[in-house]
């Protein structure tokens, strides 16, 4: 069996409202799958459904062949982590404490370390003793991404990680994603920035009204970048 995080005809509901309508795709270790589309189309709901944060799903989510079910903490222990859009830092803990509380060593003994976090995000290294709540928005985003990686998950989901960030911060997030891929971490990236998605993505799925309406491989996007742009352009 090939390891993967797979979605098989998954539908998701908030109360009686159906948001997702039978989406299917998979993420393999070391791959980045980008979910693209306009706001309100179901991208964030896909991530929330993965963590058990929607009211009900139909279809299946499977992690390495096993059904991914149960409360959020159980899914996290199975190796799934979510970096939400709202930058949840521990405001009263220092940067170092925010990072250290997340450290989880992988079973194979190698993985993302504090040294890696500071190398990729040197601004965090300069602020280790500073309270998390006093960081700028860009610094807080770097902190939550580094914290997620220190958990050494099998799969990491990023929801709009570069929204509103300066180019220097966007570059740091890109480097973090590339580092995660190098460690074999599978990534689902919800992102409005096409340059970032094109830089790190291996597969691209366009979501409209809770359905995947078009998919591209990295080779297809590199051969014809305009094809992706055209799908995301509002007339």
Rounded distance between C-alpha atoms, residue 202 and residue 40, angstroms = 23
Rounded distance between C-alpha atoms, residue 177 and residue 142, angstroms = 11
- pLDDT, tens digit only, all 235 positions of the chain: 578 999 999 999 999 999 999 999 999 999 999 999 988 899 999 999 999 999 999 999 999 999 999 999 999 999 999 999 887 899 999 999 999 999 988 766 678 999 999 999 999 999 999 999 999 999 999 999 999 999 999 999 999 999 888 888 899 999 999 999 999 999 999 998 899 999 999 999 999 999 999 999 999 999 998 988 888 875 5
Residue of 174, 211, 222 lying closest to 10 (CA atoms): 211
For the chain, domains (ranges, CATH) are 5-231 (3.40.50.300)
Sheet (strand 17-27) strand order: 17-27, 5-14, 56-63, 66-67
């Amino acid at each position: 069996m090939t390891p993967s995080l797979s979605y098989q005809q998954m539908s998701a509901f908030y109360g009686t409202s159906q948001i997702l309508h039978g989406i299917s795709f998979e993420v393999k270790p070391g791959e980045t799958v980008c979910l693209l589309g306009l706001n309100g189309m179901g991208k964030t709901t896909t991530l929330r459904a993965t963590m058990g944060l929607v009211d009900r799903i139909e279809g299946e989510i499977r992690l390495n062949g096993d059904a991914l079910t149960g409360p959020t903490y159980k899914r996290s222990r199975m190796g799934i982590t979510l970096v939400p859009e709202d930058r949840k830092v521990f405001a009263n803990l220092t940067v170092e404490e925010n990072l250290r509380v997340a450290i989880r060593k992988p079973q194979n003994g190698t993985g993302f370390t504090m040294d890696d976090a500071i190398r990729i995000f040197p601004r965090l290294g300069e602020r280790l003793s500073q309270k998390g709540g006093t960081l700028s928005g860009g610094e807080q985003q770097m902190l939550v991404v580094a914290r997620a990686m220190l958990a050494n998950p099998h799969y990491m989901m990023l929801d709009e990680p570069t929204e509103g960030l300066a180019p220097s911060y966007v570059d740091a997030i890109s480097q973090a994603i590339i580092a995660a891929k190098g460690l074999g971490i599978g990534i689902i990236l919800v992102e409005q920035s096409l340059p970032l998605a094109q830089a790190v993505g291996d597969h691209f799925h366009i979501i409209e009204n809770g359905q995947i309406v078009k998919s591209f491989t990295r080779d297809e996007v590199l051969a014809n970048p305009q094809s992706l742009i055209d799908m995301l352009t509002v007339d």
